[in-house]
Structure 1
Amino acid sequence: GNAIGVKFHEYIDYLKDDPDTKVIMTYLEGIKDGDSLVRVVRETVKKKPVIALKVGRSGAGARAAASHTGSLAGDDIIVDAAFRQAGIVRVSNVDELFDMAEVFSNCPLPGGNCVAILSEGGGDNSIAADNAEMYGMEVPVLSQETQEKMKPFLLQGMPAGNPIDYGGTAEENPHMITECVRVCMEDDQVDGIYITGFFGGFKDIIAPHVAELEEQTSRDLVDLVKKYKKPLFVHTSFARGDIKSLNILKKAGVPVIESSDRSSKCLGELMKFAVKQKKIAKMYMPDLEVKERPAVKAVFEKAINEKRSNLLETESRDLLEEYGVFLPEAVFVSDSGEAVKAADKIGYPVAMKVVSPDIIHKSDAGGIQLGLRDGKDVEKAFGKISENACKVTTKDRVLGALVSPMVAKGQEIIIGMIRDKQFGPVIMFGLGGIFVEVLKDVSFRVAPLAEEDIDDMINEIKGYRILTGVRGEAPKDIGAIKDILSKVSEIVIDNPEIEEIDLNPVIVHEQGASIVDSRVIIS
């Protein structure tokens, strides 16, 4: 029960190759070796789905941590991200767990996430379309060719574009449903079919003789599913009844569900899984071999010997540069005279930041001065930074400052890492700056990161379109973001001493990106 002998991911690894297991269902309270779980499940979902009910969503809360990354990484947020990354289908309750298990056991996997919706009523179609969008499905407008094939089975003027309304014909002649579904099944644009409304109850609504027609329609629908190998879902208000036409569908493995929400969610998850499975099958995972770098180890040893839990920014820059991360020029200075000389050499305007082992969030401590345009500005700024720093710590702990050029304007982002107790190193990406903890537009993935993980991290934040260019702004260099994420992933795999990394802000330009501030917390 407590995974003393066999770990959870080892059970998954065994069931992955078990020929008698079609779907793996699991209930989880805690997770150990989460990074191994992600790795094993990624291999498993190439063959079969893993459906998990993980409790503890409400008890997580944000952990107390020194960096922005830590304060944004609530336990359950990381669990959610890790499950998506691995391809695990996460459910919220036992009903969903068994719904999903039944659906995944019986339904053919779709080719994508495009659904055709059919009903005898416009209201049901509208609800289904809203649910489809909510659960990640697309409801494409069907091609003109497909619509022309559909029109003979609909009343004149009824919409055939998707959703499809067969009201007025199908209630008395359910065979029209078969023909509409057949047309959708033949369309390569359609990955799955969703029937909503009152199927199975037309005999009660119209006349008893319709029962036999509905039964034959059910047999025909089962044949279509077998022929085209596309999933068919039936949402009907009569789903709980002992009705022969619906029993024919249920016996053949066609989901018949009373709730429009539950049925839509099941189809949405089936489609998401099918898309994820294809992506994982093509995924190349980076090498996990740890690479020893003496220069990096020396940085950590110095900090540990000095009983520090964080690297100085000069040290964090050395770490990043060792892994090939581009950084703007910066010169360490210990007094105002050195600061002026450095600024003269770099060229104005310049920025200046405090260097102290006791000051992690420099802006909060008044330890940053920007836009310094001449030597007088620099001299004054150094004094101001030193004065502010001494309000936070003692004078002997204020080592000096970093002088660097003012970087060009661009879009602020944050890239970070927290070493999670369940999943190990977890990488974070999002829109950055001083308001990052308010906006919380961030994404997480467990390291090491594949290229597809990095793409997903960038694409899933709400502010993604800002990076691609809006309101006349030029697109930003997303390739530069990917490069930093990839190298941070490599850094944290190689160096287990690192507890947290915080690169905030990173200014992304039309070409390249500038890491303006970096923090590294060590164990």
Structure 2
Amino acid sequence: MNTPAHHPPGPDGDAAREGLHPLFRPRSVAIIGMSGKPGSAGQVVLGNLVRGGFPGDVYLVGRSGGHIDGREVFTDVAQLPESLDLAILMLPAEAVLEALRGCVARRVRAAVCFASGFAEMGEAGRAQQREMAEVARAGGMTLMGPNTVGYFNYVDAFYVMMVELVLPPRLDPAAGPAVAVAAQSGGIGAHIAASLQARGVPISYMMTTGNEAQVGLAEMISFFADDPHTGAVVVYAEQIRSAPGFLAAARSARAKGKAVVLLHPGRSEQSQASAASHTGALAGNHAAMRLAVSHAGVLVADSLEEVIDLGQLLLRFPQAPTGGLGLVTASGALCGITQDYVEPLGLALPPLAPEQVEVLRSHLPAYTPPRNPLDLGTLAGWRPELIGLGTAAVLADPAVGSVVVSLPMPEPQASVRWLQSFLDGTADSSKPAIFVMQNEDVALDPAFIALARRSGTVVMRSPERALRALASLTRFGRDRAMAVVSSGQTAPASQALPVLGTGTQAEWVGKQVLRAMGIRTPEGALATTPGEAVRIADRIGYPVVMKAQAATLAHKSEVGGVLLGIRDEAAVHAAWQQLHDNVAAADAGLVLDGVLVEAMGDRGLELVVGATRDAQWGPILMVGLGGIWVEALGDVQLLAPDLSAAAIVERLHRLKAAKLLTGFRGTPPVDLDAVADVVAALGQFMLAHPHISEVDINPLVVYAAGKGVIALDALVVTHENGAA
């Protein structure tokens, strides 16, 4: 797994938000590194400030001195007045540290550094970046960057950019809350902001955080959570450097009714088998990040298109739905396409309730079936009011959580009438609704655009993008609804753990850990002599299984270290010798702890349950089809460690092999409640015992409902000595 980058703790809480005010809306600015050459970067920054109408004082510092646009250019930072709000550093990397020290001496409250050549260049650059952060922190200064391309504050028309801008529109406060964009890539941040603006979505801020020597995404989100102009936050992250800070900021934003949408590349890490256990191999750093941030209330997008679509949706509809999809269209073909498209996404089109059927029947001709999806056919052209009536009826159905109205583009005046009918139909509903005007390569009529923007309508041009966005939003809503931990939920009473060494533990030790969690294992014990093995077998009853035991023998079956169906004393002696011969053939120097002798378990459905501890994001759980199938199919669900039992059962039903859990071809349903109890106990155990790195139970055999489970094998890995 990846290790987190060194990230010194930045300002937090109220201090962080207060520290960002000089960056976002300063009263005075110094541009350091000015050149008299027309078109130089410093002059471009100055021009953007002036053309944006910045009302505060602007000071210039440059080696050549002189005057620029009537302003004196100081030759030394020491000539600046004290207690300026913001210093904009237009300097090469080698000059930044000295300038920061000079700014601290003048009690400058904040600085933004554009220069590259720091942590992205290797260890020397990282050391210089750390020193910059330490200088700023010691001086009580907030530092943004280095390696940022700047930012836009649309609220105050304050623009800090190194490129000459066609100044973006200033936010109209009367338009209501806006989307804030925070990105570690200037190009992606600008693309997201521009794409949203092109749809008429208001933007409050577009911030690029660069290398985040001090201020990063967590501080941005915390600021936006309290900002009255911001209603939703879109984040592009290539590396989240402060996991606890990011999670706390996301929870704060959600608590204040502001959605956070994240795009984070790197999903291919899930295919890297970088850990010893199945859980570690299937739960890479990106998977752990996704699980942790989702559990904190962040909606994680899978593409650039999706993060834009979801940002627009969540600004307008901050409460994610849990119900199915409603579709109103004028195309029977689109009804079929939609059914095919949403099924893999887990979003159904539920049949309408009888009440809604009757409402529709009263408005529709006999040849138009009142159902979901609702195909109006040619009726939309000569009875446009049916668009609104149909939309209202579908939205009123309790099983419907969101609706798409997708229509081919008509002539311009009709498009406005259709949109107005849609608005009439959605007026009494708070459920997410998207109006799709198809023919996406054809420009929209200006009157249509004006009405859409005045009304705040979510308009898209692609039915597929609309469906994908609503499917993601609905999955998120369902996860949020199920993720509530039962109030007062506590870990089950547990026995004392055995003393554990560092690293991988032998199976017989791992099973002691499971029993301490209250998880049932086969009856048996460790034998160190053949005679002891016979006594254990006589006590627990034949047939038995015998397993060679050593901490370094993780895959016993592959070396002949597991023998099944041993039925008498003579077979025990023979198995003892065979096990030792098999292990010696594979590794002549391996010394066994002994042989684990256990009762043979009854057959049942084999699952895998595991946990691993990500260095940055903490514990992550896994449950799925077990035995050899976990490696062959990878049919697993990843879970947060503090989910309720009900949420765990719901996630079990998302497995591709879920039919096997509920009864398949004459087999009875299995004991899902017992599986959920094991997963919940393991989650609480990982939270309570930070020295445990991994636990892998494979297989966990589950029996028919009410018959419980039993753990047939266990792998436990620690990263420090000592008992819990």
Deviation at 1:395, TM superposition (A): 5.7
Cα distance in structure 2, aligned partners of 1:98 and 1:232: 16
SS in 1 for 2:267: coil
Q: Structure 1's 330 and 417: CA in aligned 2 closer, same or farther, altered over 3 A?
A: same
Which residue identity is paired with 1:425? P
Q: Confirm or deny that 1:423 pairs with 2:423.
A: no
Q: Confirm or deny that 1:149 pairs with 2:349.
A: no
Q: Is the 8 A contact 2:494 2:518 kept in 1?
A: no
- Stretch deviating more after TM superposition (224-233 or 445-454): 445-454
Counterpart of 2:272 in structure 1 is: 62
Q: Is the 8 A contact 1:358 1:397 kept in 2?
A: no
Q: Deviations over 1:372-406 (max 9, x none)?
A: 11112111111111111112334661221011110
Counterpart of 2:661 in structure 1 is: 467
Q: Structure 1's 438 and 36: CA in aligned 2 closer, same or farther, altered over 3 A?
A: farther
Counterpart of 2:185 in structure 1 is: none
Alignment equivalent of 1:262, drawn from 465, 473, 495: 465
Q: Confirm or deny that 1:299 pairs with 2:499.
A: yes
SS in 2 for 1:191: strand
Task: List runs of 5+ in structure 1 lacking aligned partners.
Answer: 205-210
Q: Structure 1's 355 and 187: CA in aligned 2 closer, same or farther, altered over 3 A?
A: closer
Which residue identity is paired with 2:371? G
Cα distance in structure 1, aligned partners of 2:360 and 2:545: 66
Alignment equivalent of 2:451, drawn from 248, 256, 263: 248
Q: Structure 1's 158 and 335: CA in aligned 2 closer, same or farther, altered over 3 A?
A: same
SS in 1 for 2:411: helix
Alignment equivalent of 1:489, drawn from 683, 693, 702: 683
Q: Confirm or deny that 1:5 pairs with 2:218.
A: no
Cα distance in structure 2, aligned partners of 1:267 and 1:255: 12
How many residues end up aligned between the 2 structures?
A: 505
Counterpart of 2:710 in structure 1 is: 514
Q: Is the 8 A contact 1:118 1:166 kept in 2?
A: yes
Instruction: Within 5 Å, give how 1:294-443 maps onto structure 2.
Output: 295-296=496-497, 299-300=499-500, 303-304=501-502, 309-394=503-588, 397-443=591-637
Q: Is the 8 A contact 1:117 1:129 kept in 2?
A: no
Counterpart of 2:308 in structure 1 is: 98
Q: Confirm or deny that 1:132 pairs with 2:132.
A: no
Q: Is the 8 A contact 1:114 1:191 kept in 2?
A: yes
Which residue identity is paired with 1:202? P
Q: Structure 1's 108 and 45: CA in aligned 2 closer, same or farther, altered over 3 A?
A: closer
Counterpart of 2:435 in structure 1 is: 234
Deviation at 1:153, TM superposition (A): 3.9
User: In percent, how many aligned pairs have the same letter?
Assistant: 28
Cα distance in structure 2, aligned partners of 1:36 and 1:77: 19
Instruction: Within 5 Å, give how 1:63-78 maps onto structure 2.
Output: 63-78=273-288
Alignment RMSD (CA, Å): 2.9
Q: Deviations over 1:11-34 (max 9, x none)?
A: 545544444321121111123454
- Stretch deviating more after TM superposition (51-60 or 467-476): 51-60
Cα distance in structure 2, aligned partners of 1:33 and 1:430: 30
Deviation at 1:453, TM superposition (A): 4.7
Cα distance in structure 1, aligned partners of 2:641 and 2:221: 20
Alignment equivalent of 1:28, drawn from 221, 237, 249: 237
Deviation at 1:320, TM superposition (A): 2.2
Q: Deviations over 1:147-169 (max 9, x none)?
A: 23223544432232111121122
Counterpart of 2:164 in structure 1 is: none
Q: Structure 1's 473 and 104: CA in aligned 2 closer, same or farther, altered over 3 A?
A: same
Cα distance in structure 2, aligned partners of 1:93 and 1:458: 26
Instruction: Within 5 Å, give how 1:66-215 maps onto structure 2.
Output: 66-107=276-317, 109=319, 111-198=321-408, 201-203=409-411, 211=413, 214-215=415-416
Counterpart of 2:67 in structure 1 is: none
Alignment equivalent of 2:254, drawn from 26, 30, 45: 45
Deviation at 1:64, TM superposition (A): 2.6
Deviation at 1:292, TM superposition (A): 11
Q: Is the 8 A contact 1:504 1:517 kept in 2?
A: yes
Counterpart of 1:207 in structure 2 is: none
Counterpart of 1:498 in structure 2 is: 692
Deviation at 1:323, TM superposition (A): 2.7
SS in 1 for 2:679: helix
SS in 2 for 1:385: helix
Q: Structure 1's 438 and 75: CA in aligned 2 closer, same or farther, altered over 3 A?
A: farther
SS in 2 for 1:364: helix
Which residue identity is paired with 1:258? R
Q: Deviations over 1:478-505 (max 9, x none)?
A: 1221221122122222222222211111
Q: Structure 1's 55 and 500: CA in aligned 2 closer, same or farther, altered over 3 A?
A: same
* Structure having the higher Rg: 2
Deviation at 1:58, TM superposition (A): 3.4
Q: Is the 8 A contact 1:285 1:449 kept in 2?
A: no
Q: Structure 1's 270 and 84: CA in aligned 2 closer, same or farther, altered over 3 A?
A: same
Cα distance in structure 2, aligned partners of 1:284 and 1:37: 25
Alignment equivalent of 2:419, drawn from 193, 210, 218: 218
- Stretch deviating more after TM superposition (45-54 or 387-396): 387-396
Cα distance in structure 1, aligned partners of 2:269 and 2:552: 32
SS in 2 for 1:202: coil
Q: Is the 8 A contact 1:310 1:357 kept in 2?
A: yes
Cα distance in structure 2, aligned partners of 1:18 and 1:452: 36
SS in 1 for 2:339: helix
Q: Is the 8 A contact 2:547 2:595 kept in 1?
A: yes
Q: Deviations over 1:434-464 (max 9, x none)?
A: 3321110111123344435523442322122
- Structure with the bigger RCO (C-alpha within 8 Å, sep 6+) is 1
Q: Is the 8 A contact 1:107 1:253 kept in 2?
A: no
Cα distance in structure 1, aligned partners of 2:291 and 2:654: 11
Q: TM-score scaled by structure 2?
A: 0.64
Q: Structure 1's 399 and 279: CA in aligned 2 closer, same or farther, altered over 3 A?
A: closer
Cα distance in structure 2, aligned partners of 1:292 and 1:9: 37
